[in-house]
Chain A
Amino acid sequence: MSRIIELFPFITILLLLIFGAFLTPLIKKKSSIVRTNIAINIITMMMNLVTLVYVNNYGTFIFKFGHYGSPFGIIFHIGPVEVAIAMMFSFVITMVSWYSFYSIEKEIEEKRVGFYYILNSLLLASLLGIVYTYDVFNGYVFLELSTLAACGIIIVKDKKENIKAAIKYLMLSTLGSGLVLMGIAFIYSISGHLSMEYIHEAIVASSLAKENLLLISIVLFSIGLGIKSAMFPMHVWLPDAHTTAPSPSSAILSGLVIKAPVIFLIKIYYVVYGFEFVNSSRILQLMLIFGGTGMIMGSLFARRQKYLKRLIAYSSVAQMGYIFFGIGLGNELGLIMAIYHILAHGLTKSSLFLSAGSFIEQTGFKKIEDFKGIGKEMPVTLGIFTLSALSLIGIPVLPGFISKWNLALASIDSGMIYLLIVILLSSLLNAVYYFPIIINGYFGEDNLDGKVFKSKSKPIKELIPVILLTLAMIAIGFMSGPVIEFIRSGIYM
């Protein structure tokens, strides 16, 4: 039995790729495509859950393709971090597909609905691949695949602005991929391997001689993957892409697509280069600076936005800052919190985007000032929005608070107390731009003048996926202790 479970990660990817992406286009009836894909998503989620339980009980395992071990074959490394992330990914995508089942037709043309679901499956497969793989080139291939699929779910709306945004994304992303590819070329030339563990051995064996080459390659990886995951100065593509995409796509893009490269980067740091080299190379200080400025600047930009989705997109830039900040602290707790924040933010941001999407869909407005008094019309949806926003602001026990708290402890651990100011300032800024939306939504007499009060609430069954996402978010906050311990057991350093 256990042998079968060890096949699950591979099966899920295969299922998504072959059935979800390549065979469903052959189905003629559109509604069957949608149903098949949602079914596949649910199966993937279930299998990931089983894998999660399996890893929790029996520990990490390695999946070898075609029974060839590395360095000849490609291997998947399935440990606590990988399954936790994979579980989050598949859960979010399932919820988003469920949500879009009711509403996607309102945003994209009907003939493209099937296409949208196919791209979702392709995207999930590639993201899972990035998370699982222990082979740099294999990771690169999955990374490219995810970029293309992500472009697809932006363009699927087929408006002028979408195409513009997608081209911008594609250009910058290609630049990022190019840098990653160059990085791979460098380390391949040094070590002669593509498998992460073997590269590491080769590097350890000959580190002093080729230190500069290693330094160049690690910078290439950092910047390349930084572009893909919207690290602060390289974030310019993100607001356009995430704003113009259909709301379910925005949820996926913000929740998942920018997270997978971070996992890849963490693996490259600690599995390929190893703690000693990374720590001595000062690359982490760079991460810390980029992360810290991202936390502040992302929020400052968000504060000035007039469009709701754009605000949330900039908030993502700030939240990615937390993740890079955690990595940049260079201690165990920092790295754990980076991964925890990936989970937390994935859930939070997707429910934020979906609830914002519901506002836009039901009212037809896009600007923040038009959403005054929305709480009277859509109280449940704004309630969900509020909970997620409170998490980002850092109200205790919600996951955003847990991340901030532990990041602060990690900063104190590494002797940099002044970093607390960055964390606290950033959470204050979050409050500054989320509170007005909530307050004007629920309160204020002026905000309600001249409006007709009829409920625009969505039927509750259409909101269930968003509610589930929010519940998962709350759960991950309340159970942060076990979650953090679980991540700690599989941390790479």
Chain B
Amino acid sequence: MKNILVILPLILPIISAVAISSSKIIKDKYLKLFVAAVVFLNFAFIVNANIFSDLEIIHVITVNEFLDIYFHIDQLGKLFSYMAGFLWILTSFYSFEYMKHEGKERRYYVFFILTFAMIMGISYSGNLFTLYIYYELLTLSTFPLVIHADSKEALQSGKKYIIYSFVGATFIIFGMMILFSISGNMNFIGGGIKGIGEYSDKTLLLISFLSMFLGFGVKAAMVPFHSWLPAAMVAPTPVSALLHAVAVVKSGIFALTRMTYYIYGPMLIKELNGDDYLIPLVIATIVMGSIIALHQDHLKKRLAYSTISQLGYIILGILMLNPNGLAGALMHMINHAFIKITLFFVVGSITYMTGKKYIHEINGLGKHMNKSFIAFFIASVSLVGIPPTNGFVSKWMLGLGAMEANQVLYIVILLFSAFLTAAYLFPVVIAGFFRRGDDEKEGDRKELDPPRLMMVPIIMLSVIIILLGLFPNLVINFIDVIIVDVF
């Protein structure tokens, strides 16, 4: 019975998605109510599962040692599932209003809820194979969301997304095949699988590690596999927000953490010098993402490149292979999720209320959308890394990690990129508050802040950004358990 309770968050969204897909079961007027009920209920199930996870392992299907689908809830999985569950609630409320003008709401909610199940599967999976299955299913279930507009451009971007994802999956499976033939075991164990370090053919281990890292790096938008992410900006804003904040890119980060610290283990990777091959790519990701973001006039594209750069930070933290680095990476995973979803929500509100999508169009808009732009400002400050916001905390941790790794270069890059972040985010705020709009008269003041369903999530998120900056220990203590486990 307890078993069933624990896997409920994996099952409920799937059943609900099926129910939503039929207009006979869920009538149009109850659709939003039902979705709201499902996300809340599922969050409750997540809390329940995470608390009762003293159950070690929940096997679903065991065919042989390889084909063994099971779930195991550990601290990292809890962290990810809490984050996803919480952001899913906010996004669904935001969507209730926003999706009115995008249309095809039923289809949107079907895949929106289905993706929830996939994310839960990813966070609870107990071995690499289960993770991989959910990872593939995530691609398939997010694809309809990306091409929601069904326009030619959307289909083109969707194609790009799916091709990149499948190339990534191919890399992953290549690495998995070699890994399985070496270790015969792909269960996640903090600090790496036992005995994997004793295998004599180190080159083969290195190949499998690099191949898998690059493969999971596709979803984490690592250079040179990043270009699907800006293209996927054709999706409706809540989808972009979710793709960036939790669903897709963070599942890539999560998988990278899993394989680095729970399959190979930091000691083995240091021994293989696996990080040396990847660091140049990561640095390119950070710097290039920021620099390209500077030149984007399209608001969502600018945020997309900013995401690429910020994900670079997280991957850098993962590859520092020391406790502070990993703590910084995980902190930044959470913080960036909150920051980026806020930024996207605000940009979505601008588009929803005024139809404007480019930076040169938003001059003076801050006067009309006061609250939204203040939220944007708070999130920007946080992303740059200025106290007392949560972005500062995670960057501080990353800096400590870099010191521990004796790499001054990393710190220089972090600071340089923070400077660039300021350079591409503040102009938006400045344009909103201090520039005068083209067709604007003195004293002309309209109220353009979005309706309450969209505004409340934005305000909540801004408050959380500051609260997590003031009281970071809440997250740090949670992450410490993970750190102790893997080192």
- By a beta-carbon cutoff of 8 Å, the part of chain A in contact with chain B is 394-397, 402, 405, 408-409, 412-413, 417, 420-421, 424, 427-428, 431-432, 435-436, 439, 442-446, 478-482, 484
Contacts and interface: CB of A to CB of B under 8 A. Distances in A.
Nearest to B204: A417
Contact of A435 (B66, B151, B162, B204): B162
Interface stretch (B167-175, B300-308, B335-343): B167-175
Give the interface size class of chain B.
Answer: 20 to 34
A444 B177 contact: no
A479 B63 contact: yes
B150 A417 contact: no
A420 B151 contact: no
A480 B147 contact: no
Interface string B165-206: 011001001100110110000000000000000000000100
B178 A427 contact: no
A420 B133 CA distance: 19
Q: Across the A-B interface, give the 10 residue pairs with the lowest CB-CB distance, nearest first.
A: A481-B63, A445-B150, A481-B64, A412-B181, A408-B177, A396-B133, A424-B170, A431-B166, A444-B155, A428-B170
Contacts of B150: 443-446
B264 interface: no
Give the one of A402, A405, A479 with max B CB within 10 A: A405
B112 to A, nearest CB: 16
A395 B143 CA distance: 15
A78 B124 CA distance: 45
Nearest to B177: A408
Contacts of A413: 181
Interface string B122-136: 000000010011001
Given A427-B170, A435-B162, A395 B178 contact: no
Contacts of B177: 405, 408-409, 412, 420
Contact of B67 (A397, A428, A431, A432): A397
Nearest to A430: B166
B238 interface: no
Contact of B133 (A397, A428, A439): A397
Contacts of B167: 428
Contacts of B180: 409
B171 to A, nearest CB: 8
Nearest to A402: B67
A52 to B, nearest CB: 19
Most A-side CB within 10 Å, residue of B67, B129, B137, B140: B67
Contacts of A435: 162
Contact of B63 (A408, A428, A478): A478
A207 B391 CA distance: 77
A326 B53 CA distance: 43
A426 to B, nearest CB: 10
Contacts of B132: 396
B100 interface: no
B67 A481 contact: yes
Contacts of A444: 147, 150, 155
Contact of B66 (A405, A445, A446, A482): A405
Contacts of A402: 67
A444 B157 CA distance: 12
A396 B155 contact: no
A417 B178 contact: yes
A424 B174 contact: yes
Contact of B129 (A396, A428, A442, A445): A396
B174 A396 contact: no
A408 to B, nearest CB: 4
Contacts of A421: 174
B63 A480 contact: yes
25 contacts: A394-B173, A395-B137, A396-B132, A397-B67, A397-B69, A397-B133, A402-B67, A409-B181, A412-B177, A412-B181, A413-B181, A417-B178, A417-B204, A420-B178, A424-B173, A428-B166, A435-B162, A439-B159, A443-B144, A443-B155, A444-B147, A444-B150, A444-B155, A478-B63, A481-B64
B128 to A, nearest CB: 11
B158 interface: yes
B101 interface: no
Contact of A480 (B67, B166, B173, B181): B67
Contacts of B155: 439, 443-444, 446
A413 B180 CA distance: 11
A260 to B, nearest CB: 28
Interface string B42-66: 0000000000000000000101101
B152 interface: yes
Nearest to B182: A412
A478 B204 CA distance: 30
Nearest to B61: A478
Nearest to B132: A396
Contacts of B69: 397
Nearest to B166: A431
Interface in B425-472: none
A405 B64 CA distance: 13
Nearest to B173: A424
A436 to B, nearest CB: 8
A421 B207 CA distance: 13
Contacts of B204: 417
Interface in B7-61: 61
B185 to A, nearest CB: 14
B19 to A, nearest CB: 16
From A436, A444, A446, A478, residue with most partner B Cβ within 10 Å? A444
B61 A439 contact: no
B475 to A, nearest CB: 33
Contacts of A427: 170
A344 to B, nearest CB: 14
A446 B64 contact: no
A412 B136 CA distance: 24
Nearest to A478: B61
B158 A439 contact: yes
B57 to A, nearest CB: 18
A211 B160 CA distance: 55
Contacts of B136: 395-396
Which of B64, B143, B163, B181 is most buried by chain A, counting CB atoms within 10 A of its CB? B181
Nearest to A421: B174
Contacts of A424: 170, 173-174
A62 B415 CA distance: 78
A421 B149 CA distance: 36
Nearest to B143: A439
Interface string B112-128: 00000000000000000
A435 B165 CA distance: 13
Nearest to A390: B140
Contacts of A481: 63-64, 67
Nearest to B149: A445
